[in-house]
Chain A
Amino acid sequence: MAGRVVVVTSGKGGVGKTTTVANIGTGLALRHKKVVMIDADIGLRNLDVVMGLENRIVYDLVDVAEKTCRSINKALIKDKRLSNLFLLPAAQTRNKDAITPDQMIEIVEGLKEEFDYILIDCPAGIERGFNNAVAAATEAIVVTTPEVSAVRDADRIIGLLQEKEIYEPLLVLNRLRPEMVRKGDMMDVDDINDILAIKLLGIVPDDEEIIISTNKGEPAVLNSHSKAGEAFRNIVKRLEGEEVPFMPINGETGLFGKFLKLMHGK
């Protein structure tokens, strides 16, 4: 059976696409799926660093598109930890025009038979880079943070995905801060669900473990103590069709928080 081709996109930059790809990719590989992650952010490659694979790159996506390297397998970098996880890195010294949607489709076609999942890390924006990243995908994950501008851009992206005939994108709400939600200073998942009206794949808390894990080049999903890691493990399960309840997002900790709740009669 041909693998699933999923693009991770957002519109707005810096909301967590690359982090999401690295963690979902690693999480799926932990479940023994054969996974390849394609960094389609040509000119600003990041996924290699987040995965800790930056020193192993020989060929990149553009080399594959231009057939500079003899076979696509030569460009695939095997993960340090998991032998069934691979990265196809972006070119760093080229720009988004260096490949075309047709080339992207051809490359993905060549990978579909061998892999269970092909995850595509989309660049920010809605131009060439977006069109390239989305061209070969049949499913999409839209990442947003609970901020007005990010949700607005997510809405635009959902519209553009529709034009590309991807009608049921899944939502990842990233960097939620429960304490701020509790105080009424941050939109919560219900507000955003109400506005975007697409299926929720998961909620990832704002977590300093993400920064620590990026420093080390080890996705948080590998860390059993990380809250964000747990969120990504749940996301992976849902992507695989398991029913997993959403983590309770409440900011209060311990007794005092419960007391506060009682006082407010909620």
Chain B
Amino acid sequence: MKFFREESPSKKQAVERLRLILVHDRAKVSTGLLELLRGEIINAISKYVEIDENEIEIELNANDSKAELVANIPVVRVRRAIE
């Protein structure tokens, strides 16, 4: 027998859904966000590996449970051991 209802998850769902929605909304609205990221990623990675800058793909993907930044970065060659 149950006297008290278990805490309903509907608010948790609301918060979680909102969080994901806003990841997308904000990323789309702030044009240049992905471009900026792209530039910085190229800078960071180029120190260690030579990459094909023209073939880089950076996307924001989401499904029902999470949002993720997916980067596809073709490597041309790895630089020699870095001291």
Please report A residues at the B interface, Cβ cutoff 8 Å. Answer: 147-148, 151-152, 155-156, 159, 181, 183-188, 191, 195, 260, 263-264
Contacts and interface: CB of A to CB of B under 8 A. Distances in A.
Given A155-B26, A156-B25, A148 B14 contact: yes
Interface stretch (B2-10, B39-47, B57-65, B72-80): B2-10
23 contacts: A147-B14, A148-B14, A148-B21, A151-B18, A152-B18, A152-B22, A152-B25, A155-B22, A155-B25, A156-B25, A183-B7, A184-B10, A184-B11, A185-B11, A186-B11, A186-B14, A187-B11, A187-B14, A187-B18, A195-B18, A260-B4, A263-B4, A264-B4
Given A148-B18, A159-B29, 20 more contacts: A148-B14, A148-B17, A152-B25, A159-B26, A159-B30, A183-B5, A183-B7, A184-B7, A184-B8, A184-B10, A184-B12, A186-B11, A187-B11, A187-B15, A191-B11, A191-B15, A195-B15, A195-B22, A263-B4, A264-B4
Contacts of A191: 11, 14-15
A51 to B, nearest CB: 34
A159 B29 CA distance: 8
Contacts of A264: 4
Interface string B44-72: 00000000000000000000000000000
A266 to B, nearest CB: 11
Across the A-B interface, the 3 shortest Cβ-Cβ residue pairs: A184-B7, A184-B8, A185-B10
A181 to B, nearest CB: 8
Contacts of B29: 156, 159
A35 B26 CA distance: 36
Contacts of A186: 11, 14
A159 B28 CA distance: 12
Contacts of A187: 11, 14-15, 18
A191 B15 CA distance: 7
Contacts of A181: 11
Contacts of A195: 15, 18-19, 22
Nearest to B22: A155
Nearest to B19: A195
Nearest to A155: B22
B6 to A, nearest CB: 9
A174 B66 CA distance: 29
Contacts of B7: 183-184
Contacts of B25: 152, 155-156
Contacts of A155: 22, 25-26
Which has the most chain A C-beta neighbours within 10 Å: B11, B17, B21?
Answer: B11
Contacts of B9: 184
A70 B8 CA distance: 60
Contacts of A151: 18
B62 to A, nearest CB: 14
Contacts of B4: 260, 263-264
Contacts of A156: 25, 29
A116 B11 CA distance: 40
